[in-house]
Every structure is written in structure tokens, then in C-alpha cells.
């Protein structure tokens, strides 16, 4: 395991001895693996969040390195932390990650989800990929830059937030509303959303520049209550089930956005037959229901690039087996293409449910946004990836999920999603799934890449 400073940063200069001293005195317990393990040990499952644990973890480190920082508490146990290295007049770079993680059922895991256990190849635990490793990479990049004692041409800002997994109400959303001064003169945000993927032995990197829009809905049905021994044909549960059966057969019409077309065309050469040809002629693919069904079976992530989607994720009715409940509800996680208006999607869903007695409630929705590749951060990401992996394809991409980046795009602040990791399909199953883990090889790559990228973007070499 390499230390926290990349070797290319150590150059013959007046600061060499100071840099060498910092490297030699860096405590062994503060290497990338142990920093991440310590961070994973903090159970910040959302709900309830408890991100104040993460904020205190970072605050202790920033204080030890004399870095300006502030813990911003928004509710009991819910906190964000902001830190800054001051620089010149060029627009600031903001490093963003979220401290909350989705819950983990320990009975389904091979190792304790908050154990941060290490074996010969992987570090295991909830948040290893989503997205505590990114927070550690950001931290190390800031500490390495601080240790160089060089002039920066722009501020470097670190922001670790609460509540991303539930929409950001206690995190970026709250900060944008209550502390807007934190976001003045930001030139770019580096957040989660893109990464490297290996398919058929070919490596590609996607840098997220836009994302599908969430439309979270609750469908509620009402009916007369009663005893389970005397079932009704019009109970709330039965009415809801009949409506959801219709929704399961419903699909939004496929659409081809210009950026998605470019992404799929560039991806085509990495895929086996017949997809290497089909993705070069995406318009033909969209016109064939059979080929679209085959695409869904082949790669549901690529399929989602061409469709708005809805997934039935939660159901609830009676809390007793022998009681017919007066109400039943289901929640839908719909993800809309950026040009798909929520009002239009709602009308389509109502038509598919075909029951005026059902109540349809919107739980979460926001507008679209896209960040141009014509930005200093995007160019630096592209250049550094091309230098390290000259044979890999590097493309802007649309994320099927959503992140806190939308808050910044809505304010006109460019935001880009990229975690310097290279994942295969098996590792990806851990994101929001069981047995999440990160390879030690990825830890080395991610830490080195972020330190080099941030130094390139922030150092004043004039």
C-alpha cells in the first residue's frame, strides 16, 4: 500500500524535506484501508442517518491538520461537514460525497456490514462503494494538497452531507436553502455517479453529466374493513393489487436522447454480437419491440437509458393476518428521462391504473439538469483517465439513478459524477445490495487518482 502522497508530487525543491517528513510521520493507522474501515464502522444507515458520527470523524482529522472546517447540524444526529483550503480567484472545486448509507440486513451478509473487515483482496462493509470510499479519497486529496504548502489557484472545498439516500432534505437541500453562501463562486462539483466498468475484457469509463429524474409516488386504495374469514371482492388490498397488475404490464414509450445515442454508439465496439451492431443503429433498435425486450434481458442498465421506468418497491395493508384493512398502499420508484415531464408521466400512470377511486400522491420530484463537458473539471478527468488507460473509452453518461448533483445543476453550478473505481458486474451487486466490498486495487487506484487530479486542478504552477 502506497502512502497518502503520490511519488510524482515529491520533487527536488525547498519543500522536499517537509514533504518527506510528512510522509514518514503519517501514522500507519491512517492509510486508505484503515481510514475507510474506521469510516465504515460508523453506522450511518438512513433511516435514521446519524451522520453526526461521520461529521465528527472528519472534524477530528481536519483539526489535526489545521484545516478550516465547520460541522453544520440540522437536526438531532443529522449533520453535514464543510472544509476549505483557500486559494486564488479561479472558481472553486467542491468535493462532495454523502455520509449516509442504505440499511443492511446482517443476517444476509457473509461478514458484518459495519465491520470494515479486510481480507487479502477486499475491504468489506456497507458504504465501501456507495459512497464512503469516495469521501476518503476526497479527504486524502485535501490532506496531500495541504501538506505541500503551495499556492492554490482556486479554493478546494470538501463537503460531506447527510440524507442523500432519502433525497437530501437534511443535506444538500437544507444547505442550499439555509446556507447559500457556502456555494458562492463554485466552478465545478465532483460527486458520485460515474466510474469504470469492465465488460467482455474491455474497459470503459463513464463521467456522469446528467441523470434520470425521480418521481416517487404512493398509490392508495380504500375499502370497507372486515374479518379475514369473510373476504370481500372490493377490499382495499384487492383493488390495489388489480391496479398494480395493470401497471406491471405498462411501459413508457422508448426515447433516444442525443447524449444517450452518442454514449451507446461509443459503447458498441465493446459489446458482443449482435449488440455491437444494434447499438450503432439505435433508432432501428427502438422500433423493434422484440429487440428492446432482448436488450432488457441482456443489460437492464442500457435498457433504462432508453426508457422512463417505474418499479413497485413498497406495499402495505393490514397489520394483522385476520383483518381486512380499510386502506392499502404501494409506493412506486419512477425514474424519468430528462426530457420527460413529471405531469405527463403522472397522466400516463393514471391511465394505466385505470381506477379513479385510487389516490395518487407525489412524494418526490425535481427538474432536469445537464452539465457541459466544456469545463475544467471534466477536461481534467478525461485527460487523466486517457493518460492512465489509453485503450479505454471515456464517455459522458446519463445515470439511471439520481444523486445530490441535481441541486447544483438547478442553480447553474456544473456537477460531474465520477468515482475512480473499476468495477465488474459482481462487485456492482453490492451497491444497495448484500456483501458490499471494494478491492484493495481499487483503493490504491482511487486514492492515487484523486490526489493527482485535485493537485492538477488546484495547484498554481505559474
**Block residue for cell numbers 442504505:** 102
User: What number of other Cβ atoms are within 10 A of residue 366's Cβ?
Assistant: 17
Least confident of 52-56, 253-257, 280-284, 364-368: 364-368
Query: pLDDT-based confidence at 2, cuts 50/70/90?
Result: very low
Stronger pLDDT, 243 or 231, i.e. the higher one: 243
pLDDT at residue 41, as a whole number: 98
Pick from 187, 190, 130, 112: which is nearest to 155 by CA? 187
Candidates 145, 138, 178, 127; CA nearest to 32 is 138
Q: Using an 8 Å Cβ cutoff, are 403 and 431 in contact?
A: no
C-alpha cell at 365: 420530484
pLDDT tens-place string over residues 145-189: 999 999 999 999 999 999 999 999 999 999 999 999 999 999 999
pLDDT, tens only, 211-232: 999 999 999 999 999 999 998 8
What percentage of residues in the chain have a pLDDT greater than 90?
Answer: 86
Cis peptide, bond prior to residue 48, ω within 30 of zero: yes
- What mean pLDDT value characterizes the chain? 91
CB 313 within 8 A of CB 189: no
pLDDT of residue 461: 73
Copy the grid coordinates of residue 55: 461529521
pLDDT of residue 9 exceeding 50, the answer is no
- pLDDT tens-digit map of 449-462: 999 999 999 998 74
Strand partners, 52: none
Q: What pLDDT is attached to residue 30?
A: 66
* Confidence at residue 6, expressed as pLDDT on a 0 to 100 scale: 32
Q: Is the dihedral of CA 447, 451, 453, 454 positive or negative?
A: positive
Instruction: Give me the mean pLDDT over the 89-103 stretch.
Output: 98
In the predicted structure, residue 419 carries a pLDDT above the cut 70: yes
**Considering only 108-112, 125-129, 363-367, 406-410, which range has the smallest mean pLDDT?**
363-367
Give CA torsion, residues 269, 271, 275, 279, to 10 deg.
-50
- To which residue does cell 458486474 refer? 425
Q: d(Cα 330, Cα 355) in Å, to the nearest integer?
A: 14
Q: What is the pTM of this model?
A: 0.85
CA distance 243 to 435: 35
What average pLDDT does this structure show over 95-114? 98
Mean predicted confidence (pLDDT) in 304-322: 95
Q: Is 347 exposed, middle or buried (0-12, 13-18, 19+ CB in 10 A)?
A: exposed
Q: Pick 8 or 53 by higher pLDDT.
A: 53
> In the chain, what are the domains?
7-193+403-458 (3.40.630.10), 213-365 (3.30.70.360)
The pLDDT, as a whole number, for residue 162 is 98
Cell numbers describing residue 441 = 486495487
Quick check: 16 pLDDT over 70?
Answer: no
C-alpha cell at 216: 416517487
For the CA atoms of 255, 258, 259, 260, the dihedral, rounded to the nearest 10 degrees, stands at 30
Inform me whether the pLDDT recorded for 251 exceeds 60.
yes
Amino acid at each position: 500500500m502506497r502512502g497518502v502522497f503520490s511519488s510524482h508530487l515529491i520533487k527536488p525543491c525547498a519543500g522536499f524535506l517537509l514533504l518527506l517528513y510528512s510522509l514518514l510521520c503519517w501514522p500507519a493507522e491512517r492509510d486508505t484501508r484503515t481510514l475507510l474501515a474506521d469510516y465504515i464502522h460508523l453506522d450511518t444507515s438512513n433511516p435514521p442517518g446519524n451522520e453526526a458520527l461521520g461529521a465528527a470523524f472528519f472534524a477530528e482529522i481536519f483539526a489535526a491538520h489545521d484545516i478550516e472546517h465547520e460541522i453544520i447540524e440540522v437536526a438531532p444526529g443529522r449533520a453535514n461537514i464543510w472544509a476549505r483550503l483557500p486559494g486564488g480567484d479561479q472558481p472553486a472545486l467542491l468535493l462532495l460525497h454523502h455520509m449516509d448509507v442504505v440499511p443492511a440486513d446482517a443476517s444476509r451478509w457473509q461478514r458484518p456490514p459495519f465491520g470494515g473487515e479486510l481480507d487479502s483482496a477486499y475491504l468489506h462493509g456497507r458504504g465501501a462503494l456507495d459512497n464512503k470510499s469516495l469521501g476518503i479519497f476526497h479527504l486524502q486529496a485535501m490532506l496531500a494538497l495541504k501538506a505541500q504548502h503551495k499556492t492554490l489557484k482556486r479554493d478546494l472545498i470538501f463537503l460531506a452531507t447527510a440524507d442523500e439516500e432519502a433525497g437530501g432534505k437534511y443535506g444538500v437541500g437544507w444547505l442550499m436553502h439555509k446556507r447559500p453562501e457556502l456555494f458562492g463562486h463554485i466552478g465545478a462539483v465532483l460527486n458520485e455517479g460515474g466510474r469504470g466498468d469492465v465488460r467482455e475484457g474491455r474497459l470503459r469509463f463513464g463521467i456522469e453529466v446528467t441523470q434520470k429524474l425521480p418521481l416517487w409516488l404512493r398509490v392508495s386504495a380504500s375499502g370497507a374493513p372486515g374479518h379475514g374469514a369473510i373476504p370481500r371482492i372490493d377490499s382495499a388490498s384487492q383493488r390495489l393489487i388489480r391496479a398494480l397488475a395493470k401497471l406491471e404490464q405498462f411501459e413508457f414509450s422508448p426515447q433516444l436522447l442525443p447524449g444517450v445515442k452518442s454514449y451507446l454508439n461509443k459503447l458498441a465496439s465493446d459489446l458482443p454480437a449482435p449488440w455491437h451492431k444494434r447499438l450503432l443503429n439505435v433508432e432501428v433498435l427502438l422500433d423493434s419491440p422484440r429487440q428492446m425486450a432482448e436488450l432488457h434481458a441482456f443489460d437492464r442498465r442500457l435498457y433504462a437509458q432508453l426508457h422512463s421506468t417505474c418499479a413497485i418497491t413498497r406495499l402495505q395493508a393490514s397489520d394483522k393476518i385476520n383483518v381486512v384493512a380499510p386502506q392499502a398502499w404501494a409506493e412506486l420508484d419512477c425514474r424519468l428521462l430528462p426530457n420527460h415531464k413529471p405531469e405527463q408521466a403522472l397522466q400516463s400512470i393514471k391511465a394505466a391504473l385505470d381506477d379513479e377511486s385510487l389516490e395518487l400522491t407525489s412524494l418526490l420530484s425535481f427538474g432536469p439538469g445537464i452539465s457541459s463537458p466544456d469545463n475544467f473539471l471534466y477536461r481534467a478527468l478525461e485527460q487523466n483517465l486517457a493518460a492512465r488507460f489509453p485503450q479505454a473509452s471515456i464517455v459522458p453518461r446519463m445515470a439511471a439513478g439520481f444523486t445530490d448533483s441535481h441541486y447544483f445543476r438547478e442553480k447553474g453550478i456544473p456537477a460531474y459524477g465520477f468515482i475512480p473505481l473499476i468495477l465488474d458486474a459482481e462487485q456492482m451487486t453490492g451497491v444497495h445490495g448484500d456483501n458490499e466490498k471494494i478491492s484493495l486495487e481499487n483503493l490504491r487506484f482511487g486514492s492515487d487518482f484523486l490526489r493527482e487530479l485535485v493537485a492538477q486542478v488546484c495547484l498554481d504552477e505559474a
